[in-house]
Amino acid sequence: MNKNPKQHDEFFKASFGRQDVATQYLNELLPAEIKQELSIEKLERVNGSFVSPSLKEYFSDVVYRCPLQMGSSKRKKEVFVSFIFEHKSNYDVWTHLQLLRYLLDAWDEQRNQKQDLTPIIPIVIYHGEKRAWKKQHLSAIFGFDLPESLKAFVPHFDYLFTDLFSMEDRQILELGHGLLINTFMMFKHIWEPEYVLKHLELVFSGLGEPTNKDEFIVTMLVYFLKNTDLAQEKIDELKRELPKALNRSDMSTYDRIILNVKQEFEGLLAESESARLLAEKVAQEEAQRAEVDRRLTILNLHKILKISTNQIAELTNTTNEYVAQVIQEAEEDQTNQN
């Protein structure tokens, strides 16, 4: 399976970059005491990036902002709360530090733009393969129990956390109706391609109609194919069974989906083939350099130290026949040059 985290980033941005997915997450999973303070119907995506180059490998930079409800407040203008959505495909003990650095960078950028600073709520979605994630306080990274007198000098902030590894499918499917369910199901089971193939009706739940969800179906399929090593017969099985899971009567629409996926996948295969050819070329050049170095070592041992063929073979991890051949070829070249 492809372990490249960038593949997960692409799907995360494509899913949580959709305002309907982010809105559904906040409506379904935001703590009630926070949700009651917000006007989630006014949620909007933030353009631009708060992620510094040093954090690019850690964050996808999917950011939204949402105004606080005015209510009976005496505030004269809207006050916003920002949300940074991030995913993790591996347990990372340094998440708190990465988030702290992100928060500081974001506030610095707001200050440089002469904007009001906004509270930022980090949201981490974990879909690891092998272990659950136990969220800890920042002080835990110091490796020992800090005395109470020192805890005041450790930054204290929290982040919202969704552990898909520990969530049951039933819990995901109970999150109402929307693409958040499909996103979570695909993220959770990306490590289990056989499960996805056997439960297409769950993973692609609710995507049969209307057809304006075709683009998201393509996005899911491309992510699935990028991150699994399916044999051709399994791909054929997917093509046969997906229309049933989608309950599609309009086969021309389904054919268009498959065509889009095929074009995307063929592009991936072309990239993969180019990478394979480049890797083969690099490996061949390295092998040639290693062969030259090995022959020079054999000749130096023979001419300078004048040790036996058997000893040279042992020192260079080669055979007596190979050593004898290298020496003979070198002597023949010397004779021809004379």
Residues in the chain: 338
Reply yes or no on whether the pLDDT at 192 is more than 50.
yes
Q: How far apart are CA 311 and CA 316, in angstroms?
A: 9
Q: What confidence score (pLDDT) does residue 22 get?
A: 93
Counting other chains too, the contacts that 91-100 makes at CB distance below 8 Å and 24 or more residues apart are 91/126, 91/128, 91/131, 91/133, 93/141, 94/141, 95/124, 95/159, 96/136, 96/138, 96/141, 96/159, 97/138, 97/141, 98/55, 98/58, 98/59, 99/124, 99/157, 99/159, 100/138, 100/155, 100/157
pLDDT of residue 291 exceeding 60: yes
Given a cut of 50, whether residue 45 has pLDDT beyond it is: yes
Residue 168 confidence class, pLDDT cut points 50, 70, 90: very high
CA 286 remoteness from chain centre: 31
**Residue 265 pLDDT > 70, yes or no?**
no
Task: Quickly state the pLDDT bin for 271 (edges 50, 70, 90).
Answer: low
Helices (H), 30-177: 32-35, 95-112, 148-151, 169-173
d(CA 40, CA 35): 8
**Residue 60: which pLDDT band, with cuts at 50, 70 and 90?**
low
Rounded to the nearest integer, the mean pLDDT of the chain is: 81
Place of tokens 């692409």: 10
69 near 44, Cβ under 8 Å?
no
Q: What is the pLDDT of residue 51?
A: 55
Whether the Cβ atoms of residue 45 and residue 85 lie closer than 8 Å to each other: no
Q: How large a percentage of the chain has pLDDT more than 90?
A: 24
Distance CA 147, CA 220 (A): 48
CA 176 to chain centre: 26
pTM (predicted TM-score): 0.69
Residues 236-243, mean pLDDT to the nearest whole number: 80
